[in-house]
Amino acid sequence: MREIVFDTETTGLDPQSGDRLVELGCVEMVNRVTTGRTYHAYFNPDRDMPPQAEAVHGLSAAFLSDKPRFVEHAEEFLEFIGDSPLVAHNAGFDFGFVNMELAACGLEPLSRERMIDTVALARVRHPGAKNSLDALCTRYGIDRSHRTKHGALLDAELLAQVYVELTGGRQIGLELAADSTDTLVASISVIVRERTFRPARPHSASPEEKAAHAALMATFPSPAWGNPADRIQE
C-alpha cells in the first residue's frame, strides 16, 4: 500500500486571508516503509514574509524571491502524490493551503477522504498527552536533534517515523502489510464461556444432623461454647 507523508510551510495560518504556501515536502511510503523517494520544493509567495512565520521556518522573502511559483510545479506535485492516501500532522491545515493553491491554478482540490491526520491518531493513542511532532518524537525515541527550525521535508521525514509508531510500530520479519494493525485487531477472537446456572446448596441442617449434634454435645459436661446461663446456674 502506497502512502504519502507530507508537510507544508506557509507565510501564516489562514489561506483565506492571503497567506501562501512557501514549501512542500513529501515522503513516499509503501507498506509503512519509506522507499527513499521524496518530493521537495520552495515557492515564491509573491508577498512579504511576516516575522512570526520566518521565526518558525527561517524562510525569508529574499530567499524565496527567485523560487518558482506553485503553478509552475503543481502538475509535478500531483503526479508525485498520485491517488495515494495523504498523511499529515494537523492535516486540515496542510490540505487547506494546498487546495487554495490548486484552486488558484484552476485545478481540482485534494479530496479530504484521502486525508490521514496524525494528530487525530495521536489523540486516540495518547489521550490527554501533548501530541505535537516534537512531543511524539520524544515519546517514541525518534532523533530530532537536527531539527533547529521547521522544514517541510525534514518534518515529513520525522512524521513518517512517528506514523509508523502510531499505527503499531515496525513488525520486523512478519511481513505485515500497511493495514496490519486493522487486520490483527480483526483477527482477535473473544471467547465467551457459557456457564451453567447452579442453584444455591441448602445450608440448614437436617433433623438427623441436629440429633447427632445434640447427642455429641451431651457428652461434654460443661462445653465452653454452651449456653452462658447454664454455666452460671452450675
Give the span between the Cα atoms of 125 and 127, in whole angstroms.
6
Reference 108, options 84, 74, 85; nearest CA is 74
In this prediction, residue 216 carries a pLDDT of 81
Per-residue tens of pLDDT for the chain, all 234 residues = 999 999 999 999 999 999 999 999 999 999 999 999 999 999 999 999 999 999 999 999 999 999 999 999 999 999 999 999 999 999 999 999 999 999 999 999 999 999 999 999 999 999 999 999 999 999 999 998 888 788 999 999 999 999 999 998 765 334 444 444 444 333 323 333 444 445 556 667 778 888 887 888 778 776 665 555 454 444
Q: How many residues does the chain have?
A: 234
Quick check: 92 and 118 in contact, CB under 8 A?
Answer: no
Question: Measuring CA to CA, how many Å separate 116 from each of 38, 41, 111?
Answer: 18, 22, 11
In this prediction, residue 207 carries a pLDDT of 84
Number of Cβ within 10 Å of residue 16's Cβ equals 7
Give the span between the Cα atoms of 228 and 69, in whole angstroms.
104
pTM for this model (two decimals): 0.72
In this prediction, residue 206 carries a pLDDT of 78
Residues carrying an active site annotation: 150
How do the residues of the chain divide into helix, strand and coil, expressed in percent and rounded to 5? 40, 15, 45
Give the span between the Cα atoms of 32 and 2, in whole angstroms.
8
| Residue 233 φ/ψ, nearest 5 degrees | -65, -35
